[in-house]
């Protein structure tokens, strides 16, 4: 296939980023390399704005929560890494809670999440959150129908209280197709460096696809509220999804865009 390169394309490829992009693509693919160079430049600009936003939050004692939900292998972890890799680690936390302990099971469901909420000047990123009870738990039988109903009746009031306390809350759902999920699972199984990511829940995700869809739609119908809306990020293409995640976070937080950093 003939590829016509512009002077701008050649300049991009004839750079450190260009060489790395070309070498990282297997098989050798100039079109993908150019797309990746553009993504890296866009990512740098977005990450600079994240630093500005975080500086504003620190200076003004603001508190920010970003919730990431989505199907298994939807790219939540990768998106969180791109959001957090350049900001000050002393003023942010990534929270990925394990299954609740026996003591936590006896508590109010939201309690262990509240204990992870940000202090003044801090950003907290939930890699899955209280919304496990809206989808993952009922699909896999980890909660009773009554516990599910109680959660659905309480969650909007819970988030209203979060917002009224002055915390900024951003809710992101990473969405992938069934075919893309299957491909990512296959890639994980064949990569010795990623095999640890494959869990028992992941192994059932394709079989339970329709059940996940049913509960996901019920979650959106109930909790996509005016004061606390969901942002659905189409995530079949990872680089595009990561840029869109950062763009949405920046749009959602009223930080000072003229702040010097």
Instruction: State pLDDT tens for residues 45-76.
Output: 999 999 999 999 999 999 999 999 999 999 99
Tokens of 154: 């309480």
Q: Which domains does the chain have, with CATH numbers?
A: 61-252 (3.40.50.300)
Angle at alpha carbon of residue 236, lines to 232 and 237, rounded to 5°: 105
Q: What is the pLDDT of residue 2?
A: 56
C-alpha pair distances (Å), 29 with each of 19, 34, 191, 235: 12, 9, 22, 22
Closest among 169, 176, 33 to 187, alpha carbons compared: 176
pLDDT averaged per 10 residues, the chain (length 261): 64 60 59 84 97 98 98 98 98 97 96 98 98 98 98 98 98 98 97 94 97 98 98 97 98 97 91
Q: What is the pLDDT of residue 42?
A: 96
- Does this model's pTM top 0.95? My answer is no
Q: What is the pLDDT of residue 32?
A: 77
Beta-strand runs (E) in the chain: 63-70, 92-95, 123-127, 167-175, 230-234
Whole-number CA gyration radius for the chain: 20
Q: What is the pLDDT of residue 35?
A: 85
């Amino acid at each position: 296939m003939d590829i016509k390169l512009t002077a701008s394309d050649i300049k991009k490829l004839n750079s450190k980023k260009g060489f790395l992009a070309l070498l990282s693509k297997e098989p050798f693919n100039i079109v993908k390399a150019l797309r990746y160079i553009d993504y890296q430049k866009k990512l740098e600009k977005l990450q600079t704005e994240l630093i500005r936003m975080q500086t504003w939050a620190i200076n003004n004692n603001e508190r920010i929560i970003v919730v990431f939900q989505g199907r298994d292998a939807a790219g939540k972890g990768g998106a969180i890494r791109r959001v957090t890799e350049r900001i000050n680690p002393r003023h942010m936390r990534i929270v990925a809670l394990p299954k609740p302990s026996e003591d936590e099971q006896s508590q109010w469901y939201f309690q262990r999440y509240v204990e992870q909420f940000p202090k003044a000047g801090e950003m907290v990123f939930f890699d899955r959150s209280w919304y496990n009870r809206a989808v993952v738990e009922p699909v896999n039988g980890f909660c009773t129908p009554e516990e599910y109903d109680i959660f659905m009746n309480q969650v909007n009031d819970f988030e209203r209280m979060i917002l009224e306390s002055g915390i900024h809350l951003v809710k992101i759902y990473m969405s992938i197709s069934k075919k893309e999920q299957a491909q990512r699972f296959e890639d994980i199984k064949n990569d010795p460096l990623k095999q640890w990511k494959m869990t028992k829940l992941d192994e059932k995700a394709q079989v339970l696809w329709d059940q996940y869809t049913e509960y996901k739609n019920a979650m959106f119908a109930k909790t996509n509220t005016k004061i606390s809306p969901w942002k659905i990020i189409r995530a079949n293409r990872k680089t595009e999804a990561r840029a869109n995640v950062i763009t949405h976070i920046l749009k959602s937080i009223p930080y000072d865009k003229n702040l010097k950093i």
